[in-house]
C-alpha cells in the first residue's frame, strides 16, 4: 500500500511538472514579443500638478482657425482645468466656457520626444459626450501646424473616437495619396462597448515594413508598406505623440454637440514607448 501511495504521488508530481512546463512554455511564447522591445520613454503620471514639462508641451498654434477642421475649442496652456495630473492619472478635459472668442476650452499635449519605429502604448478611458473628438496620434518631429504640407508629411492615428459613435474606435494612416478628404485613407475600426467606462490600451506597432494598431490584444488595423514611395509611405522619419480632445469640427459635430454633456474628460493611466533591442 505504501508503495502504491508513493507511486501515485510520483505520477502526480510528474504530471504537475509537465503541466507547469507547458504553462511556462506558453508564457514564454506569449512574452516573446514583449522581450523584443525595451522601454525607452514613459510617463506613469506618478506625480500631481501640471503635465511634466520635461516630457510634454502644449500645442496652441491652430486655435484661431479651428485647426483646419472647424473645431470649436481653444487649446490652453498651463490651465489646470484642461490638463492636470492627480492620483496617477492625466486628466485632459474639454470644458464649456467662453475663452478668447471660443465657446469651449481643452488641451492638446505633444511629447517633446519623437521616435522612428517602435511600440507606443497609451492606456486611457475616453469621454462619451456627443460632440467630443478625442485622439491619440502622431505627427513628424519638427513639424509645426503653421508649416502646412499636410497630409503629405504623414499622420498616424492610433486612436480616434467621436462622441456620437460611443463604442467605435478608429485607427488610420494619412499621406499624400491616402487621406480622408479623398476617402482613400488607410483605416480600421473596432467596437469597444465600454471605451468610456473602462481603461483600455491603445497600441501602435510600427517598423519599416508595416504599422499595426491594437486595442488591448485585439489587432484591428494593419497597413503594410507597399514600397511605392513617400506619397504612400512617408513614415520614414521620427514622429512625436499627441493627446487631445477636440470639440465639434468636421467629424466631431456630424450629429451636433450636446452642450449639457460638458465637461468631458479623457483619462490617461500611462504612456509607454518601446523600441526593438
- 9-62, pLDDT tens digit by residue? 343 433 334 434 443 433 333 343 567 999 999 999 999 999 999 999 999 999
Q: How many CB atoms lie within 10 A of CB 142?
A: 11
Alpha-carbon distance 189 to 208, whole Å? 23
267 is catalytic: no
Q: What are phi and psi of 185, to 5 degrees?
A: -60, 145
Query: What pLDDT does 17 receive?
Result: 42
Q: How many CB atoms lie within 10 A of CB 156?
A: 23
Q: Which of 160, 205, 230, 267 is catalytic?
A: 160
Place of cell 507547469: 20
Cis peptide upstream of residue 245 (ω within 30 degrees of 0): no
* C-beta of residue 239 within 8 angstroms of C-beta of residue 118: no
Summarize the confidence of residues 116-129 as an average pLDDT: 97
155 is catalytic: yes
Reported pTM:
0.87
Alpha-carbon distance 65 to 68, whole Å? 6
Alpha-carbon distance 151 to 3, whole Å? 77
* C-beta of residue 223 within 8 angstroms of C-beta of residue 208: no
- 85-99, pLDDT tens digit by residue? 999 999 999 999 999
Query: What pLDDT does 68 receive?
Result: 86
Q: Which of 24-33, 83-92, 101-110, 160-169 has the lowest mean pLDDT?
A: 24-33
How many distinct helices (H) and strands (E) make up the chain?
2, 17
The sign of the CA dihedral 177, 205, 61, 237 is negative
Summarize the confidence of residues 170-195 as an average pLDDT: 91
Q: Which of 61, 81, 101, 155 is catalytic?
A: 155
Q: How many CB atoms lie within 10 A of CB 128?
A: 18
Q: Single out the residue of 161, 171, 169 nearest to residue 133, CA to CA.
A: 161
Q: H or E element: which one contains 15? A: helix 2-35
Summarize the confidence of residues 182-209 as an average pLDDT: 95
Q: Single out the residue of 222, 127, 125, 132 nearest to residue 171, CA to CA.
A: 222
Amino acid at each position: 500500500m505504501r508503495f502504491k501511495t508513493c507511486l501515485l504521488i510520483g505520477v502526480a508530481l510528474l504530471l504537475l511538472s509537465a503541466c507547469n512546463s507547458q504553462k511556462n512554455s506558453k508564457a514564454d511564447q506569449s512574452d516573446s514579443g514583449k522581450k523584443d522591445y525595451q522601454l525607452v520613454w514613459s510617463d506613469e503620471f506618478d506625480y500631481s500638478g501640471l503635465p511634466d514639462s520635461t516630457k510634454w508641451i502644449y500645442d496652441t498654434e491652430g486655435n484661431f482657425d479651428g485647426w483646419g477642421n472647424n473645431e470649436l475649442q481653444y487649446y490652453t496652456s498651463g490651465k489646470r482645468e484642461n490638463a492636470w495630473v492627480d492620483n496617477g492619472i492625466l486628466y485632459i478635459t474639454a470644458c464649456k466656457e467662453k475663452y478668447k472668442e471660443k465657446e469651449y476650452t481643452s488641451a492638446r499635449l505633444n511629447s517633446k520626444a519623437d521616435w522612428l519605429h517602435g511600440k507606443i502604448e497609451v492606456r486611457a478611458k475616453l469621454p462619451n459626450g456627443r460632440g467630443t473628438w478625442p485622439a491619440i496620434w502622431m505627427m513628424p518631429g519638427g513639424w509645426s501646424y503653421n508649416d502646412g504640407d499636410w497630409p503629405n508629411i504623414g499622420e498616424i492615428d492610433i486612436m480616434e473616437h467621436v462622441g456620437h459613435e460611443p463604442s467605435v474606435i478608429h485607427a488610420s494612416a494619412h499621406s499624400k495619396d491616402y487621406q480622408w478628404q479623398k476617402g482613400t485613407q488607410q483605416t480600421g475600426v473596432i467596437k469597444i462597448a465600454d471605451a468610456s467606462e473602462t481603461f483600455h490600451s491603445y497600441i501602435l506597432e510600427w517598423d519599416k515594413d508595416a504599422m499595426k494598431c491594437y486595442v488591448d490584444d485585439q489587432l484591428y488595423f494593419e497597413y503594410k508598406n507597399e514600397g511605392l514611395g513617400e506619397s504612400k509611405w512617408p513614415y520614414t522619419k521620427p514622429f512625436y505623440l499627441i493627446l487631445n480632445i477636440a470639440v465639434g469640427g468636421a467629424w466631431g459635430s456630424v450629429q451636433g454637440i450636446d452642450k449639457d454633456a460638458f465637461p468631458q474628460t479623457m483619462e490617461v493611466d500611462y504612456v509607454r514607448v518601446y523600441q526593438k533591442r
